[in-house]
Amino acid sequence: MRVLVLNGPNLGRLGRRQPEVYGTATHAELAERCVGWGVDLGLEVEVRQTNHEGLMLDWLGTAADDRTPVVLNAAAWTHYSYALFDACAMLEAPLVEVHLSDPLQRPEEFRHHSVVTPHAALVVSGQGVEGYRVALAHLANG
């Protein structure tokens, strides 16, 4: 089974951006781990990151058309993008929402709302990079 792992804005700066919140693994290391975990789970994993919302929407539209399961860390878009809400609503295969930190434990009130959650089969928060392994295992186990 093919799975897309899609990461939103600023996640390309992992390892450098607030490591006390997001950890020290870089995005390249995260991608490498996801591909490896996928192999162990019998999944073909492709990891992508963008700072451009329209590109993310295009990727989700293609995933909807192809019925491809998605692991999504939409980062800041999680909290306000109604275009993202609509794109997630179109998905036919399972969607797992992932957050490196736990948004509900963050001090900023805006982080406490997700437009992705209503469409997610599972939400994994606060487990750092390991949360992606949990998400992939969930998809592999159907």
Respond yes or no: is residue 99 known to be catalytic: yes
| Per annotation, catalytic residue among 22, 112, 113, 138 | 22
| Per annotation, catalytic residue among 99, 112, 132, 138 | 99
Q: Which residues are annotated as a binding site?
A: 73, 79, 86, 100-101, 111
Respond yes or no: is residue 113 known to be catalytic: no
DSSP for the chain reads -EEEEEE-TTGGGTTTS-HHHH-S--HHHHHHHHHHHHHHHT-EEEEEE-S-HHHHHHHHHHHHHHT--EEEE-GGGGGT-HHHHHHHHT--S-EEEEESS-GGGSS-GGGG--SSGGG-SEEEES-TTHHHHHHHHHHHT-
Q: Which residues are annotated as a binding site for substrate?
A: 73, 79, 86, 100-101, 111
Residues belonging to the active site: 22, 99
